[in-house]
Structure 1
């Protein structure tokens, strides 16, 4: 089977999504399938195929489209800067994906709603499309904005045009897919709420290559601390949604009752300086070590005694499973899909999201009970080895691929993505090949886009300019 794995986002910059794609590609490749990986190179501003020479330079196409999408002609694009930015980025992605080509694959597996909808929109002929819903875009973007505007409430955010835009994009991405993979019951229920029938949704938790994990864990640990002092650890992006500020607040509380600990915060992100300042303000800067990005978390976990995942929203982070495989029963925030990853008091602990006081109490209990940590750690490792195997995940994913291939011709829902001439277009919308010909007659990209994109493909997209779906 020829398989294309695609993400709209930066390919190797996406943490858990990159881990998922890389592991899945390697495992399916071992089984004899031909797997190609597509994504963006953030530094070079290109869309490319991993380990292949083909790439699409986004910059010229972006520069071509930018002046065409002015507020006078398309005011709906300019309701908020975020809407304009995402729409323009998606159109550039669509052009690049069309140039790189979709027709040669037996099945395409999108890793986010933007890619899912974009790929369906540019298909000249139907290719079976599977989409993984790794998170809740509309909910996640609330935390991104709240990180910039601390006083923002969810109710206020849901009154903004950007919320309606993301909700619509999330809905279109889900409805574009023939079959959908989710890693938790929580994200499956959210996907159903977008109007997707349950028979198209398949729950398959993330898996890890257990042999590879063991080999990496056996390497020299990148972290080393003084003997006899318990180590608390977090690994992930230093962004508001990950709740690292909650962990640091909890450590400030903990310091007043228990001084025998240190904490390793592994990762990079936009909040690094702010989080470091928080530790200084709480008087714990000397005990919280910001390690930067670590390339071997399994080995680093050998130095840890307690693992904390304080995310305000997280579907099923790989770091929690890695901690369990390391023999650490993790503390997770009781939100999104994380409670499905542990059995309370047996393979981990659940605390209310954003509640630093309760988190501090839970850490304090574990610091004071070595036997409890040992016993639950063994149980966590056994549970993870039994339920989080990459072999199981890959086999289940392949079954969903085969189902998509088998059922694709008989699914009438997606006929709405194959538009009739003149329907579903905004006044003044255009085909990018026409604009290219006008601006630069004879440009070879214009010929390619005319051939590769559907005849009635237009920019801007009328579906995302309409009011939110009911």
Structure 2
């Protein structure tokens, strides 16, 4: 999303540069980090925490090496990047967008324990961000609510939804005899694809024809392929692996489905809506803010394969209902998640915090 935002700002005569840490920059930083609200060394025995801290130090090293001119404002899209830039440029206003909960994803993916060292370290970052930032933003009301217990003034957390360039999405009139289901995500436990495979197995048991297209890669791919074979739906399921621009062929499918166990926003739902697909998702986080159940998509409880199968059955068996959901999803996405809307909201925020035209 960020490069598309940059294009819009350049056209409006704003000077904006993107800065990030290249993959080749590892273990260069040596400057000891100092946080204002907690002592990171309490969590320092964790290898995951050590990795975050080294990334923080590398960002500081790289920023001091590469950035030599002043800026009116910094807008960071990762907590580590934002805090590091504030260390290097303490007098420059910082706007920090938190796009997702790294700790929740790590817990759901079995990488860390709830209330363990890593969990406590990562949630401590929210309070630190509140102190060093002029404005903390997130991408959904539900995620702002999630962050509230970890900050002192939750009412100051702003919400600006992710914006998408609608010109990239071109709905295509088509008629698939066999309904085509698509999901796009990283193949990790948090995305709930095991639930989707069980739901699809139930569809097949009831005699429904369909094809499930899974776009994405990740550590669970082999396990999911094995589960598809075990459930006797491997012939109906296509694993594509990672694909750079799925929006280019997404409009040729019929139904987008992703039963995530947690989702701060769920950008891929907005992308599927702009492609004019019927949406089915879990009743969690930002997904539930995008989908009004029965109006522009269907919501199901996370982890409930039976409910997901029933929802899929509804849209597979009733093409007219499926079309109405897709059209409503397209209308809402164009009105609420357009790139122009996000850019306009950011312009106001930048001017408020000291950016100059």
**TM-score, L = length of structure 2:** 0.89
Could you tell me how far apart the structure 2 residues matched to 1:109 and 1:75 are?
Answer: 27
Residue pair 2:43, 2:121 contacting (<8 A) in 1 also: no
Secondary structure at the aligned position of 2:353 is classed as helix
Alignment of 1:273-292 (within 5 A): 273-292=222-241
Matched, 1:31 2:32: no
Could you tell me how far apart the structure 1 residues matched to 2:223 and 2:103 are?
Answer: 25
Secondary structure at the aligned position of 1:330 is classed as strand
Matched, 1:335 2:291: no
Secondary structure at the aligned position of 1:237 is classed as coil
Deviation, structure 1 residue 129: 0.4
RMSD: 2.5
Could you tell me how far apart the structure 2 residues matched to 1:356 and 1:174 are?
Answer: 39
Deviation, structure 1 residue 76: 4.3
Could you tell me how far apart the structure 1 residues matched to 2:340 and 2:325 are?
Answer: 25
Residue pair 2:187, 2:221 contacting (<8 A) in 1 also: yes
Alignment match, 2:81: 115
Secondary structure at the aligned position of 1:405 is classed as coil
Secondary structure at the aligned position of 1:109 is classed as strand
Alignment match, 1:21: 2
- Structure 1, unaligned stretches of length 5 or more? 1-19, 47-57, 67-73, 150-156, 407-470
The 1:198–1:268 alpha-carbon spacing in structure 2 relative to 1, beyond 3 Å, is: same
Secondary structure at the aligned position of 1:37 is classed as coil
Could you tell me how far apart the structure 1 residues matched to 2:312 and 2:138 are?
Answer: 31
**TM-score, L = length of structure 1:** 0.69
Secondary structure at the aligned position of 2:285 is classed as coil
Match of 2:271 among 322, 326, 329: 322
The C-alpha deviation readout for 1:104-163, integer Å capped at 9, x for no partner, is: 21110110222222222333x41010001111233222123x2x58xxxxxxx2342121
Alignment match, 1:440: none
Matched, 1:194 2:150: yes
The C-alpha deviation readout for 1:362-400, integer Å capped at 9, x for no partner, is: 111111111100112111111212222111100101111
Could you tell me how far apart the structure 2 residues matched to 1:376 and 1:77 are?
Answer: 47
Residue pair 2:261, 2:282 contacting (<8 A) in 1 also: yes
Alignment of 1:388-403 (within 5 A): 388-403=337-352
Count residues in correspondence.
348
Could you tell me how far apart the structure 1 residues matched to 2:136 and 2:165 are?
Answer: 23
Residue pair 1:131, 1:180 contacting (<8 A) in 2 also: yes
Alignment match, 1:423: none
The C-alpha deviation readout for 1:212-249, integer Å capped at 9, x for no partner, is: 323xx67xx9xx9x951111110121122222222122
Could you tell me how far apart the structure 1 residues matched to 2:257 and 2:236 are?
Answer: 16
Rg (Cα) greater in structure: 1
Residue pair 1:114, 1:173 contacting (<8 A) in 2 also: no
Alignment of 1:80-91 (within 5 A): 80-91=46-57
Match of 1:164 among 87, 99, 120: 120
Alignment match, 2:37: none
Alignment match, 1:238: 187
